Chains A and B, each alone.
Chain A
């Protein structure tokens, strides 16, 4: 990863017993399009480190984007892509309880990023 890399993180708490199903749906219905928008899925972390059958799993899905231009490009394309809305509005909700999305950068890069 370069110093300019921006990280987009989906932090998802699934419904009880739905962790594996959510990840499968994410990989099938969301990941290919996101990769086409210039995003690279570099981590799919699961907590705890096992699929639970009667409790929620938490998933951290970490995407790398090369630079700020990639962030804007991915946003603009996603906003015009019905499949993205379909995933978050129709496919994901039966499988998840809550989620957040965050856009992050390395702490040592914040000064450079703000110097525009």
Chain B
């Protein structure tokens, strides 16, 4: 699978009608033949650099994405994304599915984090980071479905290198077990905490989440 993710922050001056009209265009694009799965949902309170709208499309491969994004409808979306009166911030990544696991059955919350692993990113350190991140669901059972991917294209606050996605039964799983389990604060945090000599991931990151009523992480 090949994924396209936007994290969109609307401009303060953008009125509700303009935001809704643009969101409707994104939702309509989700019905394009090449789109295997689409998620367009407003973010929930508590995000960090997380914007107002999560927009995620899944394609069979990058050729399908290219085929789907050549028409006038897509051009209108790109124009909207570039319109500073409408969109104040845009995190944009394309990525093939990476390591993944678990089940989306009945999940109600999707969370995505964007990381830029740019501090002495040797192959060995990146592999250890990816391995430890992928180990978290083994310890934290609240993570129902997950995927950790390297980006193919990225832009926004940082040139993002990694996409870390999870689905939960609800916000309690994210704010509770995910944050409070030692697999997080005592183990994987070594790559994020600037006081560790192991520090790998730029301190500017994206942490955002939204309610869902259908599977998001399609492998």
Residue ranges of A at the interface with B (Cβ–Cβ < 8 Å): 6, 68, 71-72, 75, 78-79, 84-85, 88, 98-101, 103-105, 110, 113-114, 116
With A84-B195, A114-B139: A75-B189 Cβ-Cβ less than 8 Å: yes
CB <8 Å contact, B197 and A116: no
A89 and B197 CA atoms in complex are apart in Å by 10
Q: Which residue of A lies closest to B177 (CB)?
A: A116
CB <8 Å contact, A116 and B193: no
Q: Which residue of A lies closest to B197 (CB)?
A: A99
Chain A residues closer than 8 Å to B176, beta-carbon distance: 116
* Minimum C-beta distance from B144 to chain A (A): 16
Q: How many residue-residue contacts, CB under 8 A, span A and B?
A: 47
Residue ranges of B at the interface with A (Cβ–Cβ < 8 Å): 139, 176-177, 179-183, 185-186, 189-190, 193-197, 203
16 pairs of residues in contact across A and B, judged by CB atoms under 8 Å: A6-B186, A71-B185, A72-B179, A72-B185, A75-B189, A75-B193, A78-B193, A79-B193, A84-B194, A100-B197, A101-B195, A101-B197, A105-B182, A113-B182, A114-B181, A114-B183
Q: Which residue of A lies closest to B190 (CB)?
A: A101
With a 10 A CB-CB cut-off, give which of A85, A99, A101 has the most chain B CB atoms. Answer: A101
With A114-B139, A116-B176, A116-B177: A79-B182 Cβ-Cβ less than 8 Å: no
Q: Which residue of A lies closest to B196 (CB)?
A: A101
Chain B residues closer than 8 Å to A116, beta-carbon distance: 176-177, 180-181
Q: Which residue of B lies closest to A71 (CB)?
A: B185
The one of B182, B189, B195, B197 in contact with A114, judged by C-beta atoms closer than 8 angstroms, is B182
A2 and B182 CA atoms in complex are apart in Å by 17
Chain A residues closer than 8 Å to B189, beta-carbon distance: 75, 103
CB <8 Å contact, B203 and A79: yes
The one of A75, A98, A110 in contact with B182, judged by C-beta atoms closer than 8 angstroms, is A110
A75 and B186 CA atoms in complex are apart in Å by 11
* Minimum C-beta distance from B129 to chain A (A): 16
Chain A residues closer than 8 Å to B195, beta-carbon distance: 75, 78, 84, 88, 101
A75 and B139 CA atoms in complex are apart in Å by 22
* Minimum C-beta distance from B204 to chain A (A): 11
Chain B residues closer than 8 Å to A88, beta-carbon distance: 194-195
Chain A residues closer than 8 Å to B180, beta-carbon distance: 68, 116
* Minimum C-beta distance from B15 to chain A (A): 34
* Minimum C-beta distance from A4 to chain B (A): 12
CB <8 Å contact, B185 and A79: no
Given contacts A68-B185, A101-B196, A114-B182, 5 further A-B contacts (CB under 8 A): A71-B186, A78-B194, A103-B185, A116-B176, A116-B177
Chain B residues closer than 8 Å to A72, beta-carbon distance: 179, 185
Chain A residues closer than 8 Å to B181, beta-carbon distance: 113-114, 116
A79 and B205 CA atoms in complex are apart in Å by 13
Chain B residues closer than 8 Å to A85, beta-carbon distance: 194
A98 and B189 CA atoms in complex are apart in Å by 20
